[in-house]
């Protein structure tokens, strides 16, 4: 069943809704329950964090938003223990200069000073991410607390296995948006799906890429801001080659402790082949109907 507005899918489409909900729930639950911190940071002088998962608070006593972006309360580099900081930065910069980094995972251990003045020993495992020109532009990985010896090592193995499961299966485009729609976080799958590296999209608006015929309909859809969740939308988006593909997106709100909507979260996948099949089916049905009526 479809909404009166073309391209909008009602929740009555049980099979699609269930599949999207399960996939979104899986990703959200997996990240939220990892006993560690999933992160993405720029390959700049301060390794500015672009994304930190909720596990950041348990590890550092800082909320993730306090440590993300150029205007962060404190950079992750500043959290590092002074005796470890230069060693870690030198090692990461050395790795960046290595000629062959493709697909390799690296790790470094160091101490951080948490907000509650405790000192935590952490293990930081990461991979380098290149932009469309082949230049290293970011690091993505997972930070775990190894302060508690053997018990922590067991949790580390479990966390890293779950993180690998997440990273290897995240083919969908997972994004965080501000209330104006601008991208705050974009998963690496954006490069496969749209041809854009995540850093090319962060800070921009998806409305700039929507098909002109879909823009007004999507702007008028205020169901999320009215408190509805699990909204499923279909629309066309322009990729880096200036070609349009059909996306199916499940959107929901991110709510602050006080109940206010503070961000939007979306999970999208390419449905171009399905849309092409639907168009062909409708054309065949129309042709069959025309032939039947012409014989009456």
221 & 265 share domain: yes
Q: Is residue 144 part of a domain?
A: yes
158 & 214 share domain: no
CA dist list (Å): 15 to 11, 142, 272: 9, 34, 18
pLDDT value at position 170? 65
Predicted confidence pLDDT, tens digits, the chain (296 residues)? 445 555 544 445 566 666 666 776 666 666 666 778 999 999 998 899 998 988 999 999 999 999 998 889 999 999 999 999 999 999 999 888 876 666 688 999 999 999 999 989 999 999 998 888 888 999 999 999 988 764 445 565 665 555 454 544 567 888 888 888 999 888 888 998 999 998 999 999 999 999 999 998 888 876 776 667 778 899 999 999 999 999 999 888 887 766 778 888 888 989 998 888 887 777 766 666 666 666 55
pLDDT value at position 206? 95
Q: Is 277 helix (H, G, I), strand (E, B) or coil?
A: helix
* Number of domains observed in the structure of the chain: 2
Q: Is residue 289 part of a domain?
A: no
Q: Is residue 96 part of a domain?
A: yes
Q: Exposure of 131 by Cβ count < 10 A (0-12 exposed, 13-18 middle, 19+ buried)?
A: middle
* Residue that finishes a domain, picked among 149, 169, 189: 169
Residue in the structure block whose two tokens are 């501000």 = 178
86 & 104 share domain: yes
* Residue 7 DSSP one-character state: T
pLDDT value at position 167? 46
Q: Is residue 1 part of a domain?
A: no
Distance CA 253, CA 174 (A): 13
CA dist list (Å): 278 to 246, 250, 269, 289: 12, 20, 17, 16
Distance CA 26, CA 18 (A): 12
**CATH code for position 213:** 3.30.450.20
Q: Which structural domain, as residue segments, surrounds residue 65?
A: 34-169
* Residue that finishes a domain, picked among 134, 169, 204: 169
Phi, psi (5° rounding) for residue 61? 70, 10
Is the sign of the CA dihedral 40, 238, 273, 3 positive or negative? positive
Q: Is residue 291 part of a domain?
A: no
63 & 134 share domain: yes
* Residue that finishes a domain, picked among 107, 137, 169: 169
- For the chain, the maximum distance between any two Cα atoms, rounded to a whole number of angstroms, is 89
* Residue 35 DSSP one-character state: S
Q: Is 127 helix (H, G, I), strand (E, B) or coil?
A: strand
Q: Exposure of 237 by Cβ count < 10 A (0-12 exposed, 13-18 middle, 19+ buried)?
A: buried
Q: What are the E-state strand segments in the chain?
A: 8-9, 37-42, 49-52, 106-113, 119-130, 136-145, 173-177, 183-186, 231-238, 244-255, 261-270
pLDDT value at position 246? 95
207 & 232 share domain: yes
Q: Is residue 249 part of a domain?
A: yes
96 & 179 share domain: no
198 & 123 share domain: no
151 & 225 share domain: no
207 & 109 share domain: no
90 & 71 share domain: yes
20 & 64 share domain: no
Q: Is residue 290 part of a domain?
A: no
Report yes or no on whether pTM surpasses 0.85: no
52 & 164 share domain: yes
- Bridge partners of 261, per DSSP, are 255
Q: Is residue 287 part of a domain?
A: no
């Amino acid at each position: 069943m479809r909404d009166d507005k073309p391209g909008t899918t009602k929740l009555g489409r049980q099979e699609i809704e269930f599949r999207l909900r399960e996939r979104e729930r899986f990703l959200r639950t997996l990240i939220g329950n990892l006993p560690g911190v999933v992160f993405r940071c720029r390959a700049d002088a301060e390794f500015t964090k672009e994304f930190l998962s909720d596990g950041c608070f348990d590890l550092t006593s800082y909320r993730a938003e306090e440590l993300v972006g150029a205007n962060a309360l404190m950079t992750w580099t500043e959290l590092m223990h002074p005796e470890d900081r230069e060693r870690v930065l030198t090692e990461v910069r050395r790795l960046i200069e290595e000629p062959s980094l493709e697909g390799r995972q690296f790790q470094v251990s160091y101490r951080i000073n948490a907000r509650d003045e405790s000192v935590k020993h952490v293990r930081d495992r990461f991979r380098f991410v290149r932009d469309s020109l082949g230049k290293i532009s970011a690091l993505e990985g997972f930070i775990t607390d190894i302060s508690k010896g053997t018990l922590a090592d067991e949790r580390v193995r479990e966390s890293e296995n779950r993180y690998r499961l997440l990273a290897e299966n995240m083919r969908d485009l997972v994004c965080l948006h501000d209330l104006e729609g601008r991208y705050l976080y974009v998963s690496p799958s954006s490069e496969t799906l749209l041809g854009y590296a995540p850093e090319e999209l962060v800070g921009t608006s998806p409305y700039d890429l929507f098909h002109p015929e879909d823009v007004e309909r999507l702007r008028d859809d205020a169901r999320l801001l009215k408190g509805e969740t699990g909204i499923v939308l279909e629309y066309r988006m322009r990729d880096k080659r200036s070609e349009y593909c059909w996306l199916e997106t499940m959107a929901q709100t991110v709510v602050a402790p006080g109940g206010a909507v503070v961000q939007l979260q979306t999970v999208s996948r390419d449905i171009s082949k399905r849309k092409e099949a639907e168009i062909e089916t409708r054309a065949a049905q129309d042709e069959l109907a025309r032939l039947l009526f012409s014989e009456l």
